[in-house]
Each structure stands twice: as C-alpha cells, then as structure tokens.
Structure 1
Amino acid sequence: MTSPLELEEEAKEEIKHRGRAQSRRVAPASTVEKALLNGDVYRGRFAGNVPHGEGKYLWTDGCMYEGEWRRGKAAGKGKFSWPSGATFEGEFKSGRMEGIGTFTGPDGGTYRGSWVADRKHGFGRKSYPNGDFYEGSWRRNVQQGQGRYVWRNGNEYVGEWKNGVISGRGVLIWANGNRYDGHWENGVPKGSGVFTWPDGSCYVGMWGKDPRSLNGTFYPAATPAVVERRSSGAADKGFPRICIWDSDGEAGDITCDIIDALEASMLYRDGSTFGRRSAGDRRSPCCFTNGEVKKPGQTISKGHKNYSLMLNLQLGIRYSVGKLALTELRELRPVDFDPSEKFWTRFPTEGTKITPPHHTAEFRWKDYCPMVFRHLRKLFSVDAADYMLTICGSDALRELSSPGKSGSFFYLSQDDRFMIKTVKKSEVKVLIRMLPSYYKHVCCYENSLVTKFYGVHCVKPIGGPKVRFIVMGNFFCSEYRIHRRFDLKGSSYGRTTDKPEEEIDETTILKDLDLNFVFRLHKSWFRELLGQIDRDCEFLEAERIMDYSLLVGVHFRDDVSASKIGFSNSMCSPKYLRKISSCKGGGMAEICLSDFEHGLPGGRKPVMRLGVNMPAMAEQVSRRSDTESTPSSRGGFRTPSCTRKGEEYEVFLYFGIIDILQDYDICKKLEHAYKSLQVDPTSISAVDPKLYSKRFRDFIAKIFVEEE
C-alpha cells in the first residue's frame, strides 16, 4: 500500500512532468538562418515554414528589415532601411508600415506620426531639409484637416488643409507682422477675410484670385501718420503676393507658382495652331480596320462620369503641344530633364490671355519636362498636328471597361493610336527619374520594344483630387484584328486569367499559364528579337525596374485558323505566301515586302518591323498550367482543356514591353519576402530586378524559337 508521503512525491513528479511538456509546447522556435536561391537571407525565428517572431531579412541590393514577424509578414515593431540611407522605424502590420513610426529620408528630412498602408495618415509632424516643418492632420500622404506649417523664414500658416493645399478657414502670419485671417480656396484667399498690417490698419472684405476684384473697406490705424494715407486706400499698402501653394513635389517643395503672363499669340484656340484641317486630312494614319469590328471600350460622351476629365486633358494637351510648336526646336539641355521642370497653368472657365474659355469647372494643368517629350514625339515620328487632332479633336476618347489591377484607368483615341493611362504619383516619379536614360536608350535603339511615352501631365480640378496620366503608344494599333492577347512576365504564381473558359474572347488578357503556343520566327527576326530583348532588359535592370510584361497580340491569318480557336475572321486578310525560308542573306529588309499576294486597301503594304506585323508560325502546345500542375487563382487545379497539339497557324505578331514604371520599393520587397517563404521564389513576380530580368529573358527564349 502506497504511503501518503509516496503519493505526495508522485504528485510532485507529475506536476513537474506536465510543466516540462507545457514548456515544450509554448517555447518559441529557435533562431535559424535560411538562404534563398536568389541570394536573399532571412535570419530569425520560424513558425512552421514562415517567419514568426523576431527576425532579420536581407535583400541582395542592400535593403534590410529587422523586427517582428507574424505568420510570414512584417508585423509589430521593426526597422526598414534602404541603401540610400533612408530608414523607417516603427510599427508594421501585414507587411506594411502601419501605426506610429518615423521615416528619415536620405536628405535628412523626417516624418514622425501615424501611418496607414505605407502612407502618412492621421496626426504627424514632418520636418523638411530646408528648415520648414508641418504638424497636423494627414490623409493618404497629403495634408488634410487642421494643420500648422512654419517656413524657415518665419512665415506661419495655421488652419485647414484639403488634398495637400491650404483650403478652408485659416490664418497666415508673415514674419514682418502682416496677417491674413479668413477663408481660402485651393491655396489663395477667397471669400471673406481680414488683412492686417503691423501698424494696426486692416482691410476687411471679400477676396478673390484677382487683386482687382477686392471688394471691402480699409480701416486705418488710429495714428496721424496712417490717417494721412486714408485717401490712398488699400492699394498703397503693398499687398503681398499670394499665389497658389503647391505641395505636390519633394519634401519642402511648398512654393509659390507664378502663372506666366504669356502673350495672346501663344494661345492655342479652336484646335488650329497649324491651320484648320478636316478630320479626314490626318497625316500618316497607321490604324484602320477592314470590315466592321467593334472597338473595345466605351465612348466618353456627355453624361459619362469622366466626361469633364476628358475635356480637361484634351484642352491641356492641345495647349501644351500647341504652345511648344510655336517655338523653335532646340537641342536638349540637362535642365530639361530636371524633376522640377514642371509647369502649372490655370484654366478658368471664362478663359485668360493664354487659355480659351471652356464649359467645365476651373482646373489647373501641369506639364512635366515638356521639351523632352517634344523631342521624343519627333523621335517616334509623331506629327504634332496629328497628335493634337487625334487626341483633342472632335472625336471622343474611349474608356476601357474596367481599371487594371493597379487601379489605373485606360483611355484610347478613336483610331487606337494612343493610349492614356492614369498613374500614381510614385510612377510619375519613376518615369521622370529614369527619363535621361530612357531618352538615351530609345535614341540608340530604334527597334526598342519598351513603351513609347509621348507626355506626362496632371489635371487638378478646383476642389477635386489630382489626376496624373501618361500618354503612350498602343502596341495593338493594327490593320488586322487581334484574336489572342497575352500578358507575359515569365512567372507562374497566380498567372492565370480569372475568367472561365467559356467567357474568354478576343479582348481577354491571358497570362503565362494560359499560353498554349510556341511562336516560330525566321532566323533574322529571331536573332533581332533576342538581341533587342537583352538590350531592353539591361536598361530596365540598370534602372531597378521589375514587374514588367511582354504584351503579345496574335492575328490568325485566315478564316480556317481563326475558326479553329473559336473566332470567325470577318476580315479580309491578305494571303501569306511562305517565302521566308527562301530569302537569301537573312536581312530583314528582304523579308516580307514581297510576301503578300494582296496588299491593304489602296495598294499599300503593311508596315513591318520588330513587334509590328511580324510574320510567324504559331505551334499549338499544351498550356503551361496543364503541364506544370499549377494551382489556379480560384483554388484547386485547372482542368486541361486543350487536347490538340502540334497544329501550326500562320500569324501576325504584335508585341512590346509594358508596365515599366514599377521599381523595387519597400512594398515589393516585403511582398517578395513573404511569398518567397511560401512558394518557390523563382515563381513569383516580385523579385529583385536582376533576377527578374534573367527570368524574363529565359522565358522569352522558350516561347519564341528559331524556325528550322
């Protein structure tokens, strides 16, 4: 029989045993180091196969995150540093800067305050390198609500802000003692307000943008010296210049933009700087269709939600291009590429000496690096008059049915030559930053496949948000119908279309795992393609760009081929005579000028160059999703639907490299870190630009092959 003492000892041992077991269950995982295939290194704690707890992630380019992780994502307190010297130290949530934190820029400027989704949002204080500072409310990276801005010269504003601009009720106090207390709109006094001088005299009344429209009463100070000036009124008091406040630029770039007082001869009215020409008299048309083909997108007519925006950008482009055309084309200078080379112009409804009257609300227009883009349009053989007539003529633009994944909207000119895309401020910064290298690259390589940029602009309606956009060439501007469209990155994770098979049509953008063709090119085209892809990727890699795509359009050259893939080819394509294999010398100039039994209407021959009207043979193969057993975007695995293999079709190809404005920023780095520990790092889009470039080129070499 067990004694009470023995029972007590056994109970103590049982308690100790349970304690050790419980400790084993809750003990944090040990610190380990994991090197990824691309050279990145993670050192820290894991839960399963993902970071969880304290850890440090090092990127090969020198970026680093050190801090807390939760289920594979940065969460909690941490520090992110860039090779430039910039740092963020504070709170993270789901891989983003969120909570309270301090950002220190490479120029020494700092922001400490609240963050939401990588943006300044809430209360915070920003100190600029030039000595200015702002403290107050922020919303999505701009001042919004109550705030105080102090300039290094002693001027100070306390009051309301809207969309980064002084708007609402507020007080501006100059260092010399002048003071304005009243209402503001879009950075200027508007409405009732009081201006007070240091001697106590004041002006009380209504304010507007034009000083001549002042309507109020001047009250002199109670001193003889001031009373003697009573007859002079407020005009002699020397009102300080009050201009438009612009907080759109870099840290500390809150400046006064003075609108140029240009002569009336610079005015571009009636759309006719170059003399009136009928819409049918456009030079060098490159896009038309044989037969009735429904164009993608919805025409922006009156009543459309973006009708006013369309009119504003048409008016702005007409003004910018027309004004430049009146000046002599000169050589580019380094200052033309400067990021500060941007010009605001005011477009009031009633018009000015340099802007015409219009039927929309007042707006402001910004033009970035105009002289550089004038040279680019000339380099790309875009006539200024055609450019304005196509985009800004009587024809309305068309809006594609839905925004892209990035949230951008796309607009097309009626002849499909030009595409207009709304972009984020960060994308504009990337383009302006890389503009010198981009200009040099496209000058050196006339067959470059990177997107052709024709202009960067911004529209700011009064009381509305800024809309930034770029004007580009459309790769699918074609004489022929595009039957298949592919957006190819060379990655596989999530790279399938979201549409079921029965909903896929010729306007659907398919992705890497949907690709079921290999394109066979004549050896001269093949060598030129790979060489140019190498040169373009080297340029993008040097600019730290990633996440770009090769956009590919396929036109099947006869009714039989089109019907086999599910389309009725209503267009009269010229019959392709396969003479390519008999060409001597392999020169591209010898190829294809004689390869058509029939030309286009009017006896013209289709223009052929790398990426435009390129003849090829498309060999049908299994989809990559069928052969790689890759999970679809909706979960599970795609069911193989393509059983035919080895069939060949005569095609025309159209392609180019798009989406080249995404640099490898903090969001992409943290996305990469998270996904790399979940799946094969080589299968995801968000990878280092050097690895992205190599993977992209390797993929291109697999889907384009040399014809035997």
Structure 2
Amino acid sequence: MATAKRKQIKVKTVQQKKRLFRSKEPLFSVFMWGINHTVNELGHVNIPVMLMPDDFKAYTKVRVDNHLFNKDNMPSHFKMKEYCPFVFRNLRERFGLDENEYLNSLTTRLVDIDSPGRSGARMMMSQDYRFFIKSLVSEEVEQMHHLLKQYHQYIVENRAETRLPQYLGMYRVTVTDVETYLIVMKNVFSPRLPIHKKYDLKGSTVDRHASDKEKSKDLPTYKDNDFLNDGARIHIGPIEKEKLLATLGRDVEFLTSLHLMDYSLIVGIHDRERDEQETKQNPQEDEEDVEVEQENGYDVEGGEVGDIMSSVPTPPESPQLFNSQFEGDLDPKTERYGVKSAEDAPRKEIYFMALIDILTRYSMKKRTAQAAKTMKHGAGAEISTVKPDQYAKRFMDFISKCIE
C-alpha cells in the first residue's frame, strides 16, 4: 500500500524590526525613545480615577547602558525621567488629546527652531507642528512643580476653557551627564494655516519693539509699540471680544493669585486673502511625494530641518504635509486657540491667541529690576516689571483696547 505523501509547508521566519529613533543629535534620539517608553509604560498601568497629592510629587526614571550596543542610533548611556506621569496623562485627556496621537507626533521627527528670547531656551517642534517642546532651567522646573496642582485644578474647574498654555508633559533627559529639562505644550498656532504676522503683547511700552535683527527674519515677532505704530487691531466683533476677555480675565486672575507676572499674549494672524492669492500663484506639490512613517513606522529618523520658524512656531509658508486652504471651520482639536475675524472686519483673518511665558514669579530679582527700571525711566513709565496685580490690570486694559 502506497504511503500517503506528507505535504511539506515551508515557513519563512522574518526577524521583527526594532523601532529606532535616529537623529543627528543624541538629545533628540533619547527624547523620542523616552516618549515611546513612558507612554507605552503608562498603557500597562491602571490609571487612577482621582488624582492624589502624591501624584503631584511622583516621577518615573529609566537608565539605559549600552542600548543594543548600537552607537550609530543611540548614545551608549542615557537617562529619561518623566515628572508626574498621571497628572500630565490626565491633562492630556482633559485637553482632548489621544495618547497614540501624542506618541506618534513626538516620535517621528523633531524640528529644531530658533529661539529669539533672552533666556536662550532650546525650542523644538514635532514634525506635524502640533506640539512645541521647550527647554527649561531648573528654576522654571521648580516653578512648574509649584504651579502644577493649582494649574490642574484650574483646568478641571474651567473644563479646559482657557488661553493658558496647554502643558502636556515634563521630562529630564540626561546624555553624557548633561541634564536637559523639557516641557511639551500644544502649539498655539495652526498646523495647516500659515501665520503671516505675529505680535507679542505685554501692555508695556518701554523697550517693547522688535529689534532690527528680529525684523530681518522671515516671520518677525513684533511687540507692543510695533502693534500701536502699525495701527493694528484684532477685529473679532463685540460677542467674541466679550468671550475672549472673560476667558483672559479668569486666566490672568489665576496667574495673579500665584504671584506670576511678565507673561504676554502671543497673537498670530493668518491672512486668508493673502493665503488664497499665494495658493493660486504657487500650487502645492503632489502630497504623494511626501512619505512619513507614523502609526507602524520603523527605522524612524529624527533630524534638524533648519531654522524654519522663530519664537512660538508656525508652519512654513507652503507646508508639505498639510493643505493650508481654509474651508470655513477651525478644527477644535488642533486650532483651539483660533478666532475668526468678524463678518464686517476690514480683512478676512484668523487670530491665534494665547498666554505664554507664565512661569515668572515676582521674586526679589524682579523687585530689584523694577527699582532699577523705575530709576532709569521714571515713576510713570510703562515698564514691564511691576507687581502682579498692577501687571494684570495694565495687561487687560491694553488687550481690551487692541480688540474691536
């Protein structure tokens, strides 16, 4: 009897690829690796229904030595520390941010950008322009810890209706024994609509104008005196003005209660008419030419794309990944800070407005600076360094006059 021939099945084994976070700069590589690690770790933990006092002191810390022995992709030794993971996870949820979106945006590629401020802070942006990463000094980290519990409570009580920065995560990255503190925030501006003009407003007129160096940039950050000299106005109509001032008033009152000052309102203006004209003159290239691995991406590179933006960032004039045409509605997830101009406004514009740089406390250093500036400019001068309650009142008065 013939024996039955056994059918042979060949199985080809495929080695699973490991996700790599390669960049020209080790800081970027480690940060992306750390975001991937911390978000995935949180996914295996039961998130508490209610935050406890200890959650505002908690942190996670990981140290890696000779990671895969692969020095081409990662440093041989590095550390990643995440502060208050449950708190920031809760904040991301309250701001309507999905964890996978956060993970994918911050682990694909980081864009290094200019920092025009005096602090010299390092600034980065996720490639999709949704998230802004800024370096902090140790004093600012301490101030964030001091602020975080009240900030979280304020966001909860106001159901995330605020013009304050959206703080989404805080980390410490250590590479070759150099510690870098980083905070992740939502980008104030739109990831799809280019900004054509930008102002940083404090309500002060002493030394508040853009320098010649700043004006030479493609997108300068103008200041209070420039706004006044331009005869600029924020044309959003009486109803939107009332809503905006009510929100800003609550936010400023909150900052004053914590003795914070020296904050400003960043105003980014998207000129719809100009954008339509530029789009007609320069049609975008076929989007199929742009390849970005995200959801299941491997061998992902993160690199510097040059000084595309300055200050609080904005997409380039002709973004490759996004259609910049405005079709009538703002995206509530990515354009929450935006307000459309009124129907009867002189120009069709969209204003992106938020409070920034809110971590400055009215300390002895600020008191000394106030005394020195008062001696230099006189008691009646509108210097920026004043007591928090004075700062708040002057700020709100000025902003109110800027809006029509």
- TM-score, normalised with respect to structure 2: 0.76
Give CA deviations for 1:555-592 in whole Å, capped at 9, x if unaligned. 112139989xxx998589xxxxxxxxxxxxxxxxxxxx
Q: CA 1:560–1:537 in 2, change beyond 3 Å: closer, same or farther?
A: closer
Q: Using the alignment, how far apart are the partners of 2:397 and 2:140 within structure 1?
A: 27
Q: Using the alignment, how far apart are the partners of 1:540 and 1:410 within structure 2?
A: 24
Q: Using the alignment, how far apart are the partners of 1:602 and 1:503 within structure 2?
A: 28
Q: Could you tell me which residue of structure 2 aligns to residue 348 of structure 1?
A: 65
Q: Could you tell me which residue of structure 1 aligns to residue 235 of structure 2?
A: 520
Q: Could you tell me which residue of structure 2 aligns to residue 557 of structure 1?
A: 272
Q: Using the alignment, how far apart are the partners of 1:428 and 1:324 within structure 2?
A: 22
Check if 1:649 corresponds to 2:347: yes
Q: Could you tell me which residue of structure 1 aligns to residue 220 of structure 2?
A: 508
In the TM superposition, residue 398 of structure 1 has moved relative to its aligned partner by 0.6
In the TM superposition, residue 379 of structure 1 has moved relative to its aligned partner by 0.8
Q: Using the alignment, how far apart are the partners of 2:214 and 2:361 within structure 1?
A: 34
Check if 1:362 corresponds to 2:61: no
Q: Structure 1: where are the runs of 5+ without partners?
A: 1-268, 273-299, 573-598, 620-646
Q: Which amino acid aligns with 2:92?
A: R
In the TM superposition, residue 603 of structure 1 has moved relative to its aligned partner by 7.7
In the TM superposition, residue 459 of structure 1 has moved relative to its aligned partner by 1.1
- 1:427–1:661 contact (8 Å) kept in structure 2: yes
Could you say what secondary structure the match of 1:420 adopts?
Answer: strand
Check if 1:430 corresponds to 2:143: yes
User: What is the 5 A alignment of 1:412-423?
Assistant: 412-423=125-136
Give CA deviations for 1:406-463 in whole Å, capped at 9, x if unaligned. 110100001100000001010011111111110111122222000000111101223x
Q: Using the alignment, how far apart are the partners of 1:494 and 1:404 within structure 2?
A: 14
Q: CA 1:602–1:427 in 2, change beyond 3 Å: closer, same or farther?
A: closer
- 2:337–2:354 contact (8 Å) kept in structure 1: no
Q: Could you tell me which residue of structure 2 aligns to residue 486 of structure 1?
A: 199
Give CA deviations for 1:317-362 in whole Å, capped at 9, x if unaligned. 1111111111122121111113xx233210212369xxxx962130
Q: Which amino acid aligns with 2:59?
A: K
Check if 1:658 corresponds to 2:356: yes
Q: Which amino acid aligns with 1:616?
A: S
Q: Could you tell me which residue of structure 2 aligns to residue 221 of structure 1?
A: none
Q: Which is worse superposed, 313-322 or 606-615?
A: 606-615
Q: CA 1:478–1:365 in 2, change beyond 3 Å: closer, same or farther?
A: closer
Q: Using the alignment, how far apart are the partners of 1:513 and 1:458 within structure 2?
A: 37
In the TM superposition, residue 499 of structure 1 has moved relative to its aligned partner by 2.1
Q: Using the alignment, how far apart are the partners of 1:536 and 1:369 within structure 2?
A: 23
Q: Using the alignment, how far apart are the partners of 1:602 and 1:533 within structure 2?
A: 26
Q: Using the alignment, how far apart are the partners of 1:466 and 1:600 within structure 2?
A: 38
Structure with more of its chain in helix, by fraction: 2
- 1:364–1:460 contact (8 Å) kept in structure 2: yes
Could you say what secondary structure the match of 1:673 adopts?
Answer: helix
Q: Using the alignment, how far apart are the partners of 1:603 and 1:701 within structure 2?
A: 29
Q: Which amino acid aligns with 2:172?
A: C
Check if 1:324 corresponds to 2:42: yes
- 1:421–1:469 contact (8 Å) kept in structure 2: yes
Q: Using the alignment, how far apart are the partners of 1:650 and 1:490 within structure 2?
A: 25
User: What is the 5 A alignment of 1:325-474?
Assistant: 325-330=43-48, 331-338=50-57, 341-350=58-67, 359-393=74-108, 396-402=109-115, 404-445=117-158, 446-462=160-176, 464-474=177-187
Q: CA 1:685–1:602 in 2, change beyond 3 Å: closer, same or farther?
A: closer
Q: CA 1:560–1:359 in 2, change beyond 3 Å: closer, same or farther?
A: closer
User: What is the 5 A alignment of 1:244-259?
Assistant: none
In the TM superposition, residue 604 of structure 1 has moved relative to its aligned partner by 8.3
Q: CA 1:500–1:602 in 2, change beyond 3 Å: closer, same or farther?
A: closer
- 2:75–2:175 contact (8 Å) kept in structure 1: no
Give CA deviations for 1:481-527 in whole Å, capped at 9, x if unaligned. 2100111111111111112797354x211111111211222222111
Q: Using the alignment, how far apart are the partners of 2:226 and 2:280 within structure 1?
A: 21
Give CA deviations for 1:3-58 in whole Å, capped at 9, x if unaligned. xxxxxxxxxxxxxxxxxxxxxxxxxxxxxxxxxxxxxxxxxxxxxxxxxxxxxxxx
- 1:519–1:704 contact (8 Å) kept in structure 2: yes
Structure with more of its chain in strand, by fraction: 1
Matched pairs, number = 342
Q: Using the alignment, how far apart are the partners of 2:280 and 2:34 within structure 1?
A: 41
Could you say what secondary structure the match of 1:416 adopts?
Answer: coil
Q: CA 1:475–1:466 in 2, change beyond 3 Å: closer, same or farther?
A: same
Give CA deviations for 1:345-400 in whole Å, capped at 9, x if unaligned. 10212369xxxx9621301121111110010011111111111111013xx21111
- 1:552–1:654 contact (8 Å) kept in structure 2: yes
Percent identity of paired positions between Structure 1 and Structure 2: 28
Q: CA 1:334–1:618 in 2, change beyond 3 Å: closer, same or farther?
A: same
Could you say what secondary structure the match of 1:687 adopts?
Answer: coil
Could you say what secondary structure the match of 1:327 adopts?
Answer: coil
Q: Using the alignment, how far apart are the partners of 1:404 and 1:568 within structure 2?
A: 35
In the TM superposition, residue 612 of structure 1 has moved relative to its aligned partner by 3.3
Could you say what secondary structure the match of 1:519 adopts?
Answer: coil
Q: CA 1:302–1:458 in 2, change beyond 3 Å: closer, same or farther?
A: closer
Could you say what secondary structure the match of 1:677 adopts?
Answer: helix
User: What is the 5 A alignment of 1:172-321?
Assistant: 270=18, 302-303=23-24, 307-321=25-39
Q: Using the alignment, how far apart are the partners of 1:323 and 1:332 within structure 2?
A: 18
Q: Structure 2: where are the runs of 5+ without partners?
A: 1-16, 285-322
Q: Could you tell me which residue of structure 1 aligns to residue 300 of structure 2?
A: none
Q: Could you tell me which residue of structure 2 aligns to residue 541 of structure 1?
A: 256
- TM-score, normalised with respect to structure 1: 0.45
Give CA deviations for 1:642-699 in whole Å, capped at 9, x if unaligned. xxxxx92221111100001111122211111100111145511111111111111111
Q: CA 1:467–1:559 in 2, change beyond 3 Å: closer, same or farther?
A: closer
In the TM superposition, residue 473 of structure 1 has moved relative to its aligned partner by 0.6
In the TM superposition, residue 617 of structure 1 has moved relative to its aligned partner by 5.2
- 1:271–1:318 contact (8 Å) kept in structure 2: no
Q: Using the alignment, how far apart are the partners of 1:555 and 1:571 within structure 2?
A: 18
Could you say what secondary structure the match of 2:188 adopts?
Answer: coil
In the TM superposition, residue 552 of structure 1 has moved relative to its aligned partner by 0.4
Q: Using the alignment, how far apart are the partners of 1:513 and 1:454 within structure 2?
A: 33
Q: CA 1:534–1:410 in 2, change beyond 3 Å: closer, same or farther?
A: same
Q: Which has the larger radius of gyration?
A: 1
For CA contacts below 8 A with separation 6 or more, give which structure has more relative contact order: 2
Q: CA 1:478–1:459 in 2, change beyond 3 Å: closer, same or farther?
A: closer
- 1:618–1:651 contact (8 Å) kept in structure 2: no
Output the aligned Cα RMSD.
3.3
Q: CA 1:447–1:270 in 2, change beyond 3 Å: closer, same or farther?
A: farther
Check if 1:686 corresponds to 2:400: no
Q: Which amino acid aligns with 2:396?
A: R
Q: Which amino acid aligns with 1:458?
A: R
Q: Which amino acid aligns with 2:355?
A: I
